[in-house]
Structure 1
Amino acid sequence: MTQGYVQDATTDGPASPPASAAVRRFRWQRDGMWRRGLVLAIVAVGEALLLLFHSALPNRVGNLGSLLETFLPWLGASVPVLAVCAVLRRSTIALIALLLPLGTWLSLFGGLLADKTSGGGDLTVLTHNVNAANADPVGTARAVAASGADVVALEELTPSAVPAYAKALASTYPYHSVQGTVALWSRYPLHGVKPVDIKLGWTRAMRAVVTTADGRIAVYVAHLPSVRVKFDAGFTAAGRDRSAEALGQAIAREPTRGVVLLGDLNGTVNDRALAPITSQMRSAQGAAGEGFGFSWPARFPVARIDHILVRGIKPRTSWTLAPTGSEHLPVAARLQIATGTADSAARP
């Protein structure tokens, strides 16, 4: 029997080829795009809450609050990752939820991304944790001297390394004082030099009055105790926190109007444990720097634990220097000792 071929009357021409699997995979369909990615949306909201209410995370268990605040800016690094995941999941709700952590992060740290440096200033200061295990103290000292700083603070000095630093810096800085493991070198005369008790049992902080051409300022140098992250104890920072409290009290009692704190505080300005210090001083990097100014570790800096903090003095610019033989980067700032702020050089 002969069979006839009948063309579908509803088809004007050859049937269109089906959409490829790849096209179907990435096509955003109305049904389901609001239901997909709920987990991603929840993660995004949770991150926004951490950023917004980080101070509410208690320190009672393992100092988790301080640990989070030490690396708080890095929470923003997860936003691009979550965005890619949301696109792959074709999740509208996840993409909308990501606006929360993005907006919160920008409100907290967006100002740091702008270039706030300005010209002027009459005093350049530098601080550097030179590392007790530094194999090239002479090279480190030469790098410090070449920075052009007027006042230099060094931390983690060992008795065996002090002569090398003193010899290499002598021609640039005629005035200096070493107190325990911290020291101050200056182009200008030093007065009232004394150690500062930060409740350690040995000297890791000092204070001196520097008499510049524009007035007298009090300069503090400090190296707060190290912190550790331990599996069984969390973020161990009790010693650091006690020292921060003692240092904050010493600075609060300082009668000189213009005050500069130079040193390794083993914490960031976001860390609530440093509030006894940061509540009465401001960061030169935050006020006059560009970016976060991370200083540690030197090979791939992830946190700024080396600080230049000021009270009664205006920062003009702040920056980090090239690596030396230390695991910390040197940090420097140009300061303006405003008339009527620093004590007059003529005062007793």
Structure 2
Amino acid sequence: MASTLDTPPLRPAPSPPSEPGADTGVWRRGRIVAAVALLAALLMLGHAHLPNRVGNLGSLIETFLPWTGLAVPLLLLCALVRRSATAAVAVLLPAVIWCSLFGGTLVDKQARGGDLTVVTHNVNEHNPHPARTARALAASGADVVALEELGGAATAEYVSTLARTYPYYSVQGTVGLWSRYPIADTRPVDISPWTRALRTTVHTRKGPVAVFVAHLMSVRFTSSGFTTDDRNAAARRLGAALRAETLPRIVLVGDFNGSLDDRALSAATSRLRSAQSAAGAGFGLTWPASFPVVRIDQILVRGINPRASWTLPATGSDHLPVAARLRL
């Protein structure tokens, strides 16, 4: 009987070695994530060109512009999940743009020194503890305290409580100012149908300073968009009053119901410096007090050098008080 040889099993021929760069999957994946990253970069870079004609879209985006930075870690996470090199590289663009816009804001720029400490606070007309709020503001050590949204019987409580520390004061409509130093030439500023702003001269040890206190009109979210017309008109009137001011040193404080990134407020803000931007640490968000997402309470100056800016602890209001130490 003839023997037979076992036939070895057939094996597939080995694949030729891949050439470098042949696997392009990491570059092909994640194109949608990359496109969203580019759109985020365009939004950050071109926000000033967004139209306000439809629902004041430009103002709405600019009010919350710093929060666009949240897109960066979210998009980077998506790029990692997709294992996409294309998306990861694309995310670098909005990251760099955001850092160029707001990176300097995160640096602590506070310094020692200063001749005048100013505090401003929207106390909320429904504040259940006006006297307690007034005592907290006086304890801050401020030389000048400005209040917005005064009204009703609470105004008398602010007056009587703050008078123990501040002998000079004036209340005009729903805004008021209390000072350790003499004040003069106090008058309302016409920005709305009822008095929501004042102008006074504070005679400090370093000379006179024009101080403006303003509470711009509230904004609303409606079915037609972000309604800001009344506020914007008030900002234009306030800007006209500031341009007419003859004293070289100006302090403007108050609740603007908008952030300084909002172009619609430029009539009142463009010729002044933000104490928070110049001498703060971080964004100094003020509203709502329970979880601040935007800085709408401002201290702005002209002819004055800000040395430090910060927020104070919450009171019975829905806004946080803000403070600044200034060198005259």
> Which TM-score applies when normalising by structure 1?
0.88
2:218 corresponds to 1:244: no
Cα distance in 1 for partners of 2:115, 2:251 equals 14
Deviations 1:119-144 (A, max 9, x none): 11010000000001100001100110
* Aligned with residue 84 of structure 2, among 75, 91, 114: 91
Cα distance in 1 for partners of 2:188, 2:158 equals 20
Cα shift at 1:87 = 0.3
* Aligned with residue 136 of structure 2, among 139, 143, 158: 143
2:31 corresponds to 1:48: no
Letter matched to residue 279 of structure 1: S
* Aligned with residue 177 of structure 2, among 184, 196, 202: 184
Letter matched to residue 206 of structure 1: L
Cα shift at 1:9 = 11
Name the structure 2 match of 1:214. 206
2:63 corresponds to 1:70: yes
Cα distance in 1 for partners of 2:6, 2:136 equals 90
Cα shift at 1:5 = 10
Cα distance in 2 for partners of 1:60, 1:38 equals 32
Name the structure 1 match of 2:313. 322
Could you say what secondary structure the match of 2:232 adopts?
Answer: helix
Name the structure 1 match of 2:116. 123
- Against the structure 1 CA distance between its residues 93 and 251, is the aligned structure 2 distance closer, same or farther, given a 3 Å change threshold? same
Cα distance in 2 for partners of 1:57, 1:210 equals 40
- Against the structure 1 CA distance between its residues 31 and 213, is the aligned structure 2 distance closer, same or farther, given a 3 Å change threshold? same
Cα shift at 1:8 = 7.7
Cα shift at 1:31 = 3.1
Cα distance in 2 for partners of 1:291, 1:167 equals 35
- Against the structure 1 CA distance between its residues 176 and 34, is the aligned structure 2 distance closer, same or farther, given a 3 Å change threshold? same
Name the structure 1 match of 2:190. 197
- Against the structure 1 CA distance between its residues 222 and 5, is the aligned structure 2 distance closer, same or farther, given a 3 Å change threshold? farther
Name the structure 1 match of 2:148. 155
Cα shift at 1:244 = 0.2
Name the structure 1 match of 2:246. 255
Q: What's the Cα RMSD here?
A: 1.8
Identity among equivalent pairs (%): 60
Cα distance in 1 for partners of 2:209, 2:8 equals 96
* Aligned with residue 311 of structure 1, among 273, 295, 302: 302
Which stretches of structure 1, 4 residues or more, deviate above 2 A after TM superposition? 4-10
Could you say what secondary structure the match of 1:34 adopts?
Answer: helix
Cα distance in 2 for partners of 1:210, 1:159 equals 26
* Aligned with residue 299 of structure 1, among 278, 290, 304: 290
Could you say what secondary structure the match of 2:26 adopts?
Answer: coil
Letter matched to residue 317 of structure 1: A
Name the structure 1 match of 2:18. none
Deviations 1:67-124 (A, max 9, x none): 0000000000121011011001001000000011000000100000001111110100
Name the structure 2 match of 1:229. 221
Cα distance in 1 for partners of 2:81, 2:256 equals 43
Cα distance in 1 for partners of 2:156, 2:270 equals 37
Deviations 1:197-220 (A, max 9, x none): 01x211000000000011100000
Cα distance in 2 for partners of 1:31, 1:274 equals 49
Could you say what secondary structure the match of 1:152 adopts?
Answer: strand
Letter matched to residue 165 of structure 2: T
Cα shift at 1:30 = 3.0
Deviations 1:273-292 (A, max 9, x none): 01111211010000000000
- Against the structure 1 CA distance between its residues 5 and 68, is the aligned structure 2 distance closer, same or farther, given a 3 Å change threshold? farther
Deviations 1:6-35 (A, max 9, x none): 99899xxxxxxxxxxxxxxxxxx9331111
Letter matched to residue 220 of structure 1: F
Letter matched to residue 204 of structure 2: T
Provide structure 2 residue ranges, at least 5 long, that are not aligned to the other structure: 12-21
Cα distance in 1 for partners of 2:54, 2:306 equals 37
Cα shift at 1:152 = 0.4
* Aligned with residue 23 of structure 2, among 30, 33, 46: 30
Letter matched to residue 46 of structure 1: L
> Which TM-score applies when normalising by structure 2?
0.94
